[in-house]
């Protein structure tokens, strides 16, 4: 029987109704006690790292989780992390980069309904996660509603439904059906690149979603706040306006000052391509980093991770252009 570490960080799965609404109150042992079936799957050690609504999660917490996983992974066959759903995709993406070539399954899961509720999705999600943690596929994954999702491809797309998460622009790693893990046969081999554990990060990354009429001086405000990187969600394929209220000059100005800027699309599916339209080519010519088909969560956390290693824009661009965990595909591959 395999040995799995269960880490509790809070979230809806561990919540109960309090005076001000749902609040995490249950510890790791409380959660496990509600699912006695787990004793037939593996041996479990439980650990409470934190107890918070994931809306309150900060980049420091990603590093804390990464440190615990890194310290513990050699003693276990896999790790399951209970996490709130609201920022789970950010944490999963951050861990995908921080943990490096982890070599064993690291599973994040949670629920839309508390473990204490009668009709809860938490028990299925936890059981499925332990089954996946006992599997042979290494890496960071989100397991939810019977789906196994690459950690840096997961995104929460529904606020209430049990199928809250989807795999964006990438196949599901597998499914859990009737107590069995079924892997996607085309994805049995993990991404070949090997990279080392590194939990350094720079939290000074700003996400800017463009709307018609965005004031170019927003970039002056971003610069004044000390941000070292910006992720811009442009229109369509990633277009950025260059006529009325042109943003191009301000983008170029900030890049000359050493601020790294990536441009992606607002559309979650199919990815962006800055080479197709003039509104993309003009900003690409300034040297921005293409976001390709990365999720917003992966793009933001990867830039934080890259800037945690170097503030040299050229080196940041190299890191962003390296495919570490199948977080992106080039346009011709899409």
The per-residue pLDDT for range 267-309, each reduced to its tens digit, is: 999 999 999 999 999 999 999 999 999 999 999 999 999 999 9
Supply the pLDDT for residue 190.
59
In this prediction, residues 50-62 reach a mean pLDDT of 98
Asked whether residue 13 carries a pLDDT value surpassing 70, the answer given is yes
pLDDT at 218 over 60: yes
User: Is residue 55 annotated as a catalytic residue, yes or no?
Assistant: no
- Beta bridge partners of residue 48, listed in sequence order: 8
Quickly count: other Cβ atoms within 10 Å of residue 331's Cβ.
16
List the strands of the sheet with 180-183, edge to edge. Answer: 43-52, 3-10, 78-82, 105-109, 139-144, 147-150, 174-177, 180-183
Check residue 188 and give its pLDDT: 59
Identify the active-site residue in 12, 57, 85, 265: 12
Which H or E run includes 182?
strand 180-183
pLDDT of residue 131 exceeding 80:
yes
pLDDT for residue 187: 78
Long-range contacts of 299-302 (CB under 8 A, 24+ apart): 299/231, 299/262, 299/264, 300/90, 300/93, 300/205, 300/207, 300/231, 301/62, 301/90, 301/93, 301/94, 301/97, 301/152, 302/93, 302/97, 302/152, 302/327
Classify 105 as helix, strand or coil: strand
When pLDDT is cut at 50, 70 and 90, the band that residue 186 belongs to is confident
Q: 188: exposed, middle or buried (C-beta count within 10 Å: 0-12, 13-18, 19+)?
A: exposed
CB 80 within 8 A of CB 35: no
Paired tokens of 123: 């028990």
Compute the distance between CA of residue 143 and CA of residue 125 in angstroms, rounded to an integer.
7
Domains in the chain with CATH codes: 3-187 (3.40.50.1170), 205-333 (3.40.50.40)
pLDDT at 189: 63
CB 239 within 8 A of CB 210: no
**CA–CA distance, 229 with 319 (Å, rounded to integer):** 13
């Amino acid at each position: 029987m395999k040995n799995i570490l269960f880490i509790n960080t809070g979230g809806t799965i561990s919540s109960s109704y309090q005076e001000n609404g749902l609040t995490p109150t249950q510890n790791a042992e409380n959660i496990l006690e509600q699912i006695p079936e787990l004793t037939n799957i593996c041996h479990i050690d439980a650990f409470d790292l934190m107890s918070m609504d994931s809306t309150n999660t900060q980049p420091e917490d990603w590093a804390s989780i990464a440190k615990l996983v890194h310290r513990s992974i050699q003693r276990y066959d896999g790790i399951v992390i209970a996490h709130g759903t609201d920022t789970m995709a950010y944490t999963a993406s951050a861990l995908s980069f921080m943990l490096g070539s982890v070599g064993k399954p690291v599973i994040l899961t949670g629920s839309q309904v508390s473990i204490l509720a009668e009709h809860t999705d938490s028990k299925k999600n936890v059981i499925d996660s332990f089954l996946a943690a006992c599997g042979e596929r290494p890496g960071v994954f989100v397991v939810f509603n019977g789906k196994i999702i690459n950690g840096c491809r997961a995104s929460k797309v529904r606020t209430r439904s049990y199928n809250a998460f989807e795999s964006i622009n990438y196949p599901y790693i597998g499914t859990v059906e009737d107590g069995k893990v079924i892997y996607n046969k085309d994805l049995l081999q993990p991404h070949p690149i090997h990279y080392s554990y590194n939990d350094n990060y720079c939290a000074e990354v700003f996400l800017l979603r463009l709307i018609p009429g965005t004031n170019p001086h927003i970039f002056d405000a971003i610069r004044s706040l000390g941000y070292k990187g910006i992720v811009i969600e442009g229109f369509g394929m990633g277009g950025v306006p260059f006529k009325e209220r042109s943003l191009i000059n301000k983008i170029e100005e900030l890049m000359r000052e050493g601020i790294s800027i990536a441009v992606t699309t607002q559309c979650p599916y199919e990815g962006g391509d800055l080479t197709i339209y003039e509104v993309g080519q003009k900003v690409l010519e300034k040297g921005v980093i293409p976001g390709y088909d990365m999720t917003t969560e992966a793009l933001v956390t990867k830039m934080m991770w890259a800037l945690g290693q170097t503030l040299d824009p050229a080196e940041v661009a190299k890191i962003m252009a390296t495919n570490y965990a199948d977080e992106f595909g080039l346009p011709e591959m899409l």
